[in-house]
Amino acid sequence: MKRTILIALVMAVTIFALGLAPVTQAAPPQAAPPPGTDSIAEIAIAAGFDELVGALVYVDDELGAGLVDLFLNGTDQYTVFAPTNEAFEGLYTLLGIDGITDLPPELVLNVLLYHVTEGRRAANSVVPPVRPRVITTLLGATFTVDRTATITDLAGQQANIVSPNISASNGIIHVIDTVILPLP
């Protein structure tokens, strides 16, 4: 009996040491939430993203970009990395300006397009499990996201995804705490 227990114990230790013990898998990444009923623009307006909405209206008024209509009535799917009002205020302070209209509308349009990707991309397809993931934006420029949900833009500046997976009828919003910039 003692010999049987000893043999079983030796086998268990050997199996564990060789890495042959049963492996438990991590839980699969959370699936994308189902589409919401409100559009990206309706959510941004209702949630008080005043600076972001103001930037969209500014480039529409100045350049006829059509972004408000795209995010309000469009049926294509987009992922928006939406900076908070505080993120915009931080940018204004950094640049020494009073507001978004102090910047050229072409620059603002490029910054806005740098915050959007095509398709409905939930956090599980944006935040990688290990190595940083490269995200290509509507501007054509890229940024990376690491496993801690930290974005690094072309300038090396970092932003955090503070509220992921806000589901809209035409995409997904990930709230970020810094305006990311497409400037090397």
Residues belonging to the chain: 184
Amino acid at 29: P
Asked if 166 and 173 count as a contact pair (C-beta separation under 8 A), the reply is yes
Q: What pLDDT, on a 0 to 100 scale, did the predictor assign at position 30? A: 56
CATH of 36-124+161-175, one of 2.30.180.10, 2.30.30.100, 3.40.50.11400, 3.40.50.970: 2.30.180.10
Distance of CA 96 to the CA centre of its chain: 27
Domain extent listing, the chain: 36-124+161-175
* CA gap 103, 139 in Å, rounded: 18
Q: What pLDDT, on a 0 to 100 scale, did the predictor assign at position 5? A: 31
Q: What pLDDT, on a 0 to 100 scale, did the predictor assign at position 8? A: 34
* CA gap 45, 176 in Å, rounded: 16
Q: Mean pLDDT per 10-residue run, the chain (184 residues)?
A: 34 34 37 88 97 98 97 95 98 97 98 98 95 97 97 96 97 98 89
Residues 6+ apart with CB under 8 A from 121: 32, 79, 172
Q: What pLDDT, on a 0 to 100 scale, did the predictor assign at position 183? A: 87
Asked if 67 and 39 count as a contact pair (C-beta separation under 8 A), the reply is no
Q: What pLDDT, on a 0 to 100 scale, did the predictor assign at position 184? A: 78
| β-bridge partners, 134 | 144
